[in-house]
Amino acid sequence: MTVISNGNYYVPRTKEDAEKGFWIASAASGAIMSTLPLFSKPFLKQMKAEHANNQQYKDAFIKSFKTSGLPEEGVNIIHQEFSPDDLAKLGTAREKEIFHKDVKAGLNAFYAPDAKEIHFNLNKASISAFHEAGHALNNLKSTWGNLLQKFRGPGYAIAGLMGTVALFSRPKPKENDNGLRDFVQNNCGKIAFAAMLPTVAEEALASHKGIKLAREGGLGEAAIKNLKKFYGKALMSYAGYAIATGLSVGLANKIMQHYTRPKEVSPQQEFPQGYYPYQRF
Ligand SMILES: [Zn+2]
């Protein structure tokens, strides 16, 4: 038992306290992360609606792609759609076997940096192609964009690691904290959030470049305005992911601190009848 200067004690936590903290912290993080689909809902809703406007985006994209400098870099467009074999699987238990189902359905798109390929459904989801070409430009023709892209993977890994760090016990009182390890543990929520920022920044940059491409491809101002709105919603889903990650790790950290840090008690609390162990008569 440690007596501190104000006469109070530190009482270590029990194993049961730590277990309780672990379960509450895990449940609280899970609850925050379960809100994530809410952030991507507006994006998905507009994505479906834009299938009907595909032609104007498709024309502008093909035009802008030719002068983007990307073909010279070896970038290719890969049209993704359901094959007859895929269509037979749709709506059955085998649906999950369909490779790149979302992309084929025109609900998603991606740029594959290793293969230098932009994958999307040309007949449905051309609105997302400008942004994917923006990723290709970041990858191949931008120092900053390329650097941010390189930080994405490690950033996700660090954020995941912080989620684990948050769930470790804190056996000593806060005032005894020192050094890097304690700093990382005490700030794991903020670090997890910061680790996600390169991803958010690279997404924003890809959209910025995508909008520029759309203008160069001759897309009208009304459609440009719509494109900006759509890309804003996409960015919101990434920003939401970063915020939810930071909050969930931070909350787990607070809960674990509460349940595992030694508890400060006053002699009056521990010995309410007035028999203080250090009293001298
Ligand atoms: Zn993106």
For residue 94, the tally of other CB atoms under 10 A from its CB is 11
Q: For residue range 155-182, what is the model confidence (pLDDT) as tens digits?
A: 999 999 999 999 999 988 888 889 999 9
CA of 114 to the centre of ligand 1 (A): 16
CA of 208 to the centre of ligand 1 (A): 11
Residue 66 belongs to what H/E stretch?
A: helix 54-66
User: pTM score, two decimals?
Assistant: 0.88
Residue 265 belongs to what H/E stretch?
A: strand 263-265
CA of 131 to the centre of ligand 1 (A): 6
Q: What percent of the chain has pLDDT over 70?
A: 94
Give 188's contacts (C-beta < 8 A, 6+ positions apart): 162, 163, 165, 166, 249, 250, 253
CA of 43 to the centre of ligand 1 (A): 12
CA of 84 to the centre of ligand 1 (A): 29
CA of 89 to the centre of ligand 1 (A): 28
CA of 206 to the centre of ligand 1 (A): 7
CA of 169 to the centre of ligand 1 (A): 37
Q: What is the pLDDT of residue 185?
A: 94
Q: For residue range 245-259, what is the model confidence (pLDDT) as tens digits?
A: 999 999 999 999 999
Instruction: Please provide the average confidence, as pLDDT, over all residues in the chain.
Output: 92
Q: For residue range 219-240, what is the model confidence (pLDDT) as tens digits?
A: 999 999 999 999 999 999 999 9
Is the pLDDT at 280 greater than 50? The verdict is no
CA of 10 to the centre of ligand 1 (A): 50
What is d(CA 98, CA 125) in angstroms, rounded to the nearest whole number?
A: 18
Question: Using 50, 70 and 90 to split pLDDT, how confident is the model at 281?
Answer: very low
Contact 262, 10 (CB under 8 A): yes
Q: Choose between 8 and 277: higher pLDDT.
A: 8
CA of 12 to the centre of ligand 1 (A): 48
Contact 214, 58 (CB under 8 A): no
CA of 276 to the centre of ligand 1 (A): 64
Mean pLDDT score, 190-214 = 97
CA of 49 to the centre of ligand 1 (A): 19
| All structural domains of the chain with their residue ranges | 2-73+144-262
